[in-house]
A and B are shown apart, each in its own frame.
Chain A
Amino acid sequence: QKEVEQDPGPLSVPEGAIVSLNCTYSNSAFQYFMWYRQYSRKGPELLMYTYSSGNKEDGRFTAQVDKSSKYISLFIRDSQPSDSATYLCAMTLSGGYNKLIFGAGTRLAVHP
Chain B
Amino acid sequence: GAVVSQHPSWVICKSGTSVKIECRSLDFQATTMFWYRQFPKQSLMLMATSNEGSKATYEQGVEKDKFLINHASLTLSTLTVTSAHPEDSSFYICSARDTGGREPSDTQYFGPGTRLTVL
Contacts and interface: CB of A to CB of B under 8 A. Distances in A.
B43 A32 contact: no
Interface of A: 8, 32, 34, 36, 41-46, 49, 51, 88, 92, 94, 96-100, 102-105, 107
B108 interface: yes
Interface of A is mostly: loop
Nearest to A91: B106
Contact of B43 (A46, A88, A99): A88
The interface centre, meaning the residue of A32, A46, A51 with most chain B CB atoms within 10 A of its CB, is A46
B55 to A, nearest CB: 15
Contact of B104 (A8, A51, A99): A51
A68 to B, nearest CB: 22
B43 A104 contact: yes
